[in-house]
Amino acid sequence: MERQRLRTLVEIALAIALAAVLNMLKIWRMPNAGTVSFVMLPIVILALRRGVIVGVITGALYGFVDFYIDPYPPVHWIQPLLDYPVAYAMVGLSGLFSPAWYRAWDRGDRRAASLAVIAGCVLAGTLRYLVHLASGAIFFAEYAPPGQPVLVYSALYNLYVPVSTVLAIAAALVLMPVLARAVPVERPVS
């Protein structure tokens, strides 16, 4: 049990470090923060392999690391909490599909396993997008062009999240089966 706990902590630390590195390899950077990158991938993979609790903890911890490494000057004390730990904790909720992935994988149903990965990534990306959407609408209204509703501005500005989600889906579909064969883990409790 102690060995399993240590292994999980090491995997959390590795996922956070890998997410930080992947976020530095930006495919596209928005003018006022926000990037298209593979940043969600390590969090999603760990959440699908270890469950929702580990995923949410990993995401939230990564959010603090991301704020430390590449902060956007806060406009209100709650804004960095939303844009960093809360947004990435939402990515960890992809772990809700961990049991479905393992059931499908154990049955040898690769199609159902792929659907669980896709569903987990879509949930992660959607929730992260909604958090950034709310933050943008509440705290960054001043950046909206004159006459454009702030919610529309925030929705358009944050479209980098769905693009990053598509990247995470593509990579996770390849990596999840490889990792399941190469580095099997005990089933998550959550």
pLDDT of residue 187: 67
Q: What is the DSSP letter of 37?
A: S
Percent with pLDDT over 70 in the chain: 97
pTM for the predicted model, two decimal places: 0.90
Instruction: Report helix, strand or coil for 36.
Output: strand
Q: Distance between CA 87 and CA 65 in Å, rounded? A: 13
Q: What is the DSSP letter of 77?
A: T
Instruction: Report helix, strand or coil for 10.
Output: helix
Q: Distance between CA 91 and CA 120 in Å, rounded? A: 9
Helices 40-50/110-139 angle, 10° precision: 130
DSSP letter for each residue of 7-36 = HHHHHHHHHHHHHHHHHHS-SEE-TTS-EE
pLDDT of residue 188: 60
* Residue 116, H or E segment: helix 110-139
For the chain, domains (ranges, CATH) are: 2-182 (1.10.1760.20)
- Please state the length of the chain: 190
pLDDT of residue 61: 98
